[in-house]
Homo-oligomer: A and B are copies of this chain.
């Protein structure tokens, strides 16, 4: 994640630059949390998975706003934006995947519906992890 690294570096540099002037009470911890953004391809899964167990143990409900991601912790809230139309939706990670096809995230049918990507089947999206 070069962006994250650069942002962190900038924050450190900024802190250093300020330090000699005034060692203020608000070091980096209070800086607004930078959500690491990832761009990639999303697809979705629907009724064919209804009722099956997700990797989190929860049953999959295609009408809920959830998603599968390979790494983000279960329960993480992520804002997903369809880069083709600007629509966005907040989903909760409750499953693992996608493991094929070079995609970044698999959304629930409901999330795909809100992003208006049911007809395209796939979409380029941006993921932003939301603070707890």
* B43–A48 CB distance below 8 A: yes
Select A48's contact among B52, B106, B118, B119, beta carbons within 8 Å: B106
* A62–B101 CB distance below 8 A: no
In the docked arrangement, what's the CA distance between A122 and B109, Å? 11
Select A47's contact among B48, B50, B113, B122, beta carbons within 8 Å: B122
Query: Is A21 interfacial (CB 8 A cutoff)?
Result: no
A32-51 CB mask vs B (1 if < 8 Å, else 0) is 00000000000111111011
- Shortest CB-to-CB span from A113 to chain B, Å, is 7
Copies in the complex: 2
Query: Is A17 interfacial (CB 8 A cutoff)?
Result: no
Q: Could you tell me which residues of chain A, from 90 to 107, have a CB within 8 Å of some CB in chain B?
A: 97-98, 100-101, 103, 106
- Shortest CB-to-CB span from A89 to chain B, Å, is 16
In the docked arrangement, what's the CA distance between A113 and B62, Å? 18
* A101–B43 CB distance below 8 A: no
Q: Which residues of the other chain, B, contact A44 by a CB distance below 8 angstroms?
A: 46-48
User: Can you give 18 A-B contacts (C-beta < 8 A)?
Assistant: A43-B46, A43-B47, A43-B48, A43-B50, A44-B47, A44-B48, A45-B45, A46-B46, A46-B121, A47-B121, A48-B97, A48-B98, A48-B101, A48-B103, A51-B100, A52-B100, A62-B121, A118-B119
